[in-house]
Structure 1
């Protein structure tokens, strides 16, 4: 199924944000959870660590990494399992994974920053930027930048993804979207896209004169201190520790297809980097991502398709913002996204009001690790406990793929 390190030699254009250290830090495979003066009162980190270790021992899981933020503090960062099935290299907080569609939140943030600086308007038609995108009936003249970021361009679900995976050029694929039968006019319905979404990368380059991947590194990753974050296959595979992709227990080749549309699915990072990213999305790095930007990109724009999945049944229907999904859980407004690309999965979910959230990265097709987000939420909001990791029942079989939305 397809839907993704910042080197120390890169000089940031501005002073990096101070990198916070976890208040409660579970060292990779150590099983030790220490406390601090600011230790949270809601989440039982000993219990969380124990349950994650059990989940990681299941045959459908190879390696995974978890980060939790509570009350604005990075309180838990932990790696479990190994980078390769049957191998001895452990997953650590610095092991690099692919983000897949969580990359869309990065694209929205980058565009939001530029809009906040007056360099573009989210309400401008895409055609103004002279990108490769062509929509049915000249729809690029009507579809706005915000429509691209919220999947409201009128195309069928995942248009031309199959051709991208067959090796076709992304810009040629965007141009050929004019020949697709539209399902609605721009700005009138939601239909998830990857190829069309990556028009964002062209817009950023048109506005800044800098390639999208470089601008994201310079403006977001470097000042946030995301030292292992990158947007290329080479960036993943050159990391000191990186998780190999798996189908079942079989290692597979890292596919380059979705790196070719970096705004839609090109990001790699460690879980520590993702924790820093989550803090920024909570408004805790305003010098890099201003509050006004967050208000804009997190605002729900359109209803999405209701899915009969485990996640949807608990969270209810989601609405799509700009590169992010909006949820409601136990009366709390949450922001998040899920991602999947061959051999990797990812999820992030946080409460911008309480400054609390959870992120998980893993290197298999299993959806079991996604259950940790619901278990963390139950502790945060004093809800009845459930076995979302499916480890308490005899055998603890793998969760079925349909149990969680993949995008």
Structure 2
């Protein structure tokens, strides 16, 4: 069945094919998304599309758990993984707009656990921390976090970690160091980090399913189990313990609400001035993703927990994330307020292509190949199909 919130006929979209040309073909996308979810590499998939600022489509496919076949629904809770960094950047900008924090003050101005080589925490600004400019080698000490070590202890030991560049001079992606923001922002807000996010952002935006921590996922009535192909993975709390970097859970509708807020659709909560602070490019980065997607984007940069890049002549923005058994992405075009949020409970990387297929559909690009699976082994025929 079609999972569009509003069909073309029921909405205020143009009625004639000529007027409709260049707009998103939800019927075609729905079929392709269902085909993707049927792949053996997948378990469940949730997709929401915002077109011209309006939530037009929510699609849910596949299962929450391959062992019992429970279906994904719009109420199902998934993990945002590193898309959580966009929330941290927004909270920092929100507090900066109230003069509760100075983004240009060094990290050492606050009582936090981060220690960098050569005492660089006394020079690295909070804005540079959020823009991933610590200089540390990529994902420093993540393996120790996954082994169960305390993130604050790890931050205190980063002074001995190798550098990729001098702090403040390049982009080097981090989780443990980035989560120093949870300590700093809690002090600025005068309440625990997760509470500050909920009070200032999630609840005012109506994001009632959005939570931090493992209990926020597993305590939900419907939650997606992590998968690697057909295997259900053991749930681990490692990256929930760095909440500013990777702590958020929600359903797909609330994920779409967050994207709309990032588009400027909720100015009472996140005014344009605050979003400008969050989204402003601060450091150049490598192109995003890998393979064909890496070749298709250019001019990439990072803001406060935020990515910007160019695809097919269009300036796009957002973030993506991955932890074991879960993936998530939020990509949109600020100029048209059009884009997609996607969450899935498997380690397969192909669904990262979905927002690009959405943008191709919006612009009527006939040769879009992002949701073409002809390069993959064909699915095994079912007994019904053989009859």
Q: Does 1:109 align with 2:90?
A: yes
- In the TM superposition, what whole-angstrom CA distance separates every residue of 1:86-113 from its partner, at most 9, and x where no partner exists? 5332111111101110000010001110
CA contact (8 A) 1:25 1:75 kept: no
- In the TM superposition, what whole-angstrom CA distance separates every residue of 1:244-291 from its partner, at most 9, and x where no partner exists? 000111111221011110000000011101100000000000111111
2:45 to 52, 64, 67: 64
- TM normalised by structure 2 equals 0.92
Match of 1:265 in 2: 246
Aligned-pair CA distance for 1:180: 1.6
Q: Does 1:219 align with 2:197?
A: no
Q: Structure 2: how far apart are the matches of 1:306 and 1:334?
A: 13
1:324 to 299, 306, 312: 306
Deviates more, 1:322-331 or 1:135-144: 322-331
Match of 2:12 in 1: 38
Alignment of 1:64-213 (within 5 A): 64-213=45-194
- CA 210–52 in structure 1, closer or farther in 2 if over 3 Å, else same: same
Q: Does 1:341 align with 2:326?
A: no
Deviates more, 1:334-343 or 1:368-377: 368-377
CA contact (8 A) 2:287 2:297 kept: no
- TM normalised by structure 1 equals 0.87
Q: Which runs of 4+ in 1 moved over 6 A?
A: none
- CA 58–130 in structure 1, closer or farther in 2 if over 3 Å, else same: same
What is the SS of the residue equivalent to 2:157?
helix
Match of 1:19 in 2: none
Q: Structure 2: how far apart are the matches of 1:75 and 1:242?
A: 24
CA contact (8 A) 1:39 1:75 kept: no
CA contact (8 A) 2:3 2:60 kept: no
Alignment of 1:278-357 (within 5 A): 278-306=259-287, 308-357=290-339
Across the aligned residues of Structure 1 and Structure 2, the Cα RMSD in angstroms comes to 1.7
CA contact (8 A) 2:85 2:245 kept: yes
Deviates more, 1:367-376 or 1:292-301: 367-376
- CA 319–67 in structure 1, closer or farther in 2 if over 3 Å, else same: same
Aligned residue pairs total 370
Aligned-pair CA distance for 1:203: 0.7
- CA 116–53 in structure 1, closer or farther in 2 if over 3 Å, else same: same
Uncovered stretches (5+) of structure 1, i.e. residues with no partner: 1-23, 398-407
Uncovered stretches (5+) of structure 2, i.e. residues with no partner: 15-19, 380-387
- In the TM superposition, what whole-angstrom CA distance separates every residue of 1:15-64 from its partner, at most 9, and x where no partner exists? xxxxxxxxx9537xxxx956433237400111111111111111111100
What is the SS of the residue equivalent to 1:82?
strand
What is the SS of the residue equivalent to 1:53?
helix
Q: Structure 2: how far apart are the matches of 1:260 and 1:93?
A: 26
Aligned-pair CA distance for 1:317: 4.2
Deviates more, 1:174-183 or 1:58-67: 174-183
Aligned-pair CA distance for 1:306: 4.1
Q: Structure 2: how far apart are the matches of 1:72 and 1:25?
A: 19
